[in-house]
Amino acid sequence: MIQAGVVGATGYAGAELCRILSGHPEAELAAVSSVSFEGKALSEVYPAYFHMCDMICGTEEQVVEKSDVIFAALPHGLSQELAAVCWKAGKVFIDLGADFRLEKEEEYQEWYANSFTHPELHKEAVYGLPELFREKIKGKKLIANPGCYTTAVPLALAPALRKGYIEKDGIIADCKSGVTGAGRKPTQGNHYPELNESFTAYKVASHRHTPEMEQTLSHIAQSPVKLTFVPHLLPVNRGILATCYARLKEGVTMEMLESAYAEAYGKEYFIRLLKKGQVANIKNVRCSNFCDISLHMDERTGTFIAVSAIDNMVKGAAGQAIQNMNLAFGLEETAGLKLFPPAF
């Protein structure tokens, strides 16, 4: 059994990692850590885990020592030093934060006000969006795990961009997120009286996930892509709904688009292409590693609309991280992740 450790196990993404790993057929939870709850059982922090995951939260050092793979569920800026320790120890390191996602240090400095403290490790890191970069991930020891928006938007647009069916400028990503995407630490914005009966945009055209999405889409298009990204906060716990708009190239038909998406995703277990007339809905992917995608066309304006839905804590965080672990260790990619959503 692969020994898996989670640093930052009491945050939402870390706790979700522990939940999914507990049912993995070829990996087991070896150690967990938490600065805020060191010495406490995970089930004391999350009573739902009682009798299922009662592991005591230790230190980062204990996690590294006991584990073959270390998942870092930490805020940005805290993973680089830990990655260096794991690299020196020959351990697989999967970062759920943003420290290794951006390829250009100047962009990381601009959007995260931080620098590459270990430039040599950034050269080794691979971007862990399996459906787009699977072959680069296999067997790697340092994986930058994408987050929620940065998974939902590229998956929605990649096949159309790759085929050259849409214009590379003027793309709009209009996205909605459940409140768990804001993390476990309370803020005024996710305080219940502020959030309930509310729906609002935030960080309009200034969200730090923008350059990451542009980076991924530019790789797919093999030339620079810019987009306008507007996120919104939904009064629900889980889910990302990404409604993406792009101008169609002249002569492109719905049949051509459907064929492109079937070619790209037809054999992908975790991507479900919805039938004509259906629309992706966050309810239908809850607690699963699926990404549902529906395709639409506004013939009157020549606009392509792709709607994707994921669970931000699974495909947008912990589930994708385990998918990357499976690829890194040569396991069946779906191992431990064949969780289908509850019906209601």
Segment 308-332 mean pLDDT: 98
Q: Strand 171-177 relative to strand 240-247: parallel, antiparallel, unpaired?
A: antiparallel
Task: Tell me the C-alpha distance between 60 and 7, whole Å.
Answer: 6
| Contact yes or no for 28/35 (Cβ under 8 A) | no
Distance of CA 77 to the CA centre of its chain: 18
148 labelled catalytic: yes
Q: Of 11, 19, 49, 14, give the one whose Cα is nearest residue 287.
A: 19
In a domain, 338, yes or no: no
Q: Tell me the CA distances in angstroms from 140 to 31, 178, 253, 333, one per residue in order.
A: 22, 31, 39, 14
Answer yes or no: do 274 and 223 share one domain: yes
Strand partners, 33: 7, 58
Task: Tell me the C-alpha distance between 143 and 146, whole Å.
Answer: 9
- Supply the pLDDT for residue 189: 81
In a domain, 21, yes or no: yes
| Span 256-299, pLDDT tens digits | 999 999 999 999 999 999 999 999 999 999 999 999 999 999 99
Is the predicted pLDDT of residue 232 greater than 90, yes or no?
yes
- Supply the pLDDT for residue 181: 85
Q: Give the percent of the chain with pLDDT over 90.
A: 92
Answer yes or no: do 232 and 120 share one domain: no
| Span 175-196, pLDDT tens digits | 999 999 888 887 888 888 888 8
In a domain, 339, yes or no: no
Helix axes 210-221, 130-137, angle to 10 degrees: 80
Is the predicted pLDDT of residue 200 greater than 90, yes or no?
yes
Answer yes or no: do 167 and 108 share one domain: no
Neighbours of 332 (CB within 10 A): 13
Q: Of 99, 76, 88, 211, give the one whose Cα is nearest residue 153.
A: 211
Segment 331-339 mean pLDDT: 96
Answer yes or no: do 180 and 256 share one domain: yes
Domain range for 223 is: 149-311
> What is the pTM (predicted TM-score) of this model?
0.96
Task: Tell me the C-alpha distance between 219 and 159, whole Å.
Answer: 12
- Supply the pLDDT for residue 185: 80
- Supply the pLDDT for residue 344: 87
In a domain, 183, yes or no: yes
Query: What tokens were used for 18?
Result: 């522990």
Answer yes or no: do 139 and 153 share one domain: no
Continuous segment of H or E residues that includes residue 308: strand 303-310
Query: What tokens were used for 341?
Result: 């959503």
In a domain, 24, yes or no: yes
- Supply the pLDDT for residue 184: 81
Answer yes or no: do 20 and 133 share one domain: yes
Integer distance in angstroms from the first to the last C-alpha of the chain?
A: 34
- Supply the pLDDT for residue 159: 98
Catalytic pick among 18, 57, 148, 175: 148
| Contact yes or no for 148/308 (Cβ under 8 A) | no
Answer yes or no: do 153 and 286 share one domain: yes
Segment 214-219 mean pLDDT: 98
Q: Tell me the CA distances in angstroms from 185 to 112, 150, 276, 279, one per residue in order.
A: 19, 22, 40, 33
Angle in degrees, CA 141, 147, 152, rounded to 5: 120
**Mean pLDDT over all residues of the chain?**
96
Answer yes or no: do 135 and 159 share one domain: no
Answer yes or no: do 29 and 157 share one domain: no
Structurally, how many domains does the chain consist of?
2
In a domain, 343, yes or no: no
Answer yes or no: do 230 and 252 share one domain: yes
Answer yes or no: do 137 and 206 share one domain: no
In a domain, 344, yes or no: no
Strand partners, 172: 228, 245
| Contact yes or no for 94/74 (Cβ under 8 A) | no
Type of residue numbered 329? F
| Span 109-143, pLDDT tens digits | 999 999 999 999 999 999 999 999 999 999 999 99
- Read off φ and ψ for residue 341, nearest 5 degrees: -65, 150
| Span 33-92, pLDDT tens digits | 999 999 999 999 999 999 999 999 999 999 999 999 999 999 989 999 999 999 999 999
Q: Of 267, 249, 268, give the one whose Cα is nearest residue 163.
A: 249
In a domain, 341, yes or no: no
Segment 308-324 mean pLDDT: 98
Domain at 185, CATH number: 3.30.360.10
Answer yes or no: do 40 and 92 share one domain: yes
Query: What tokens were used for 96?
Result: 């759920």
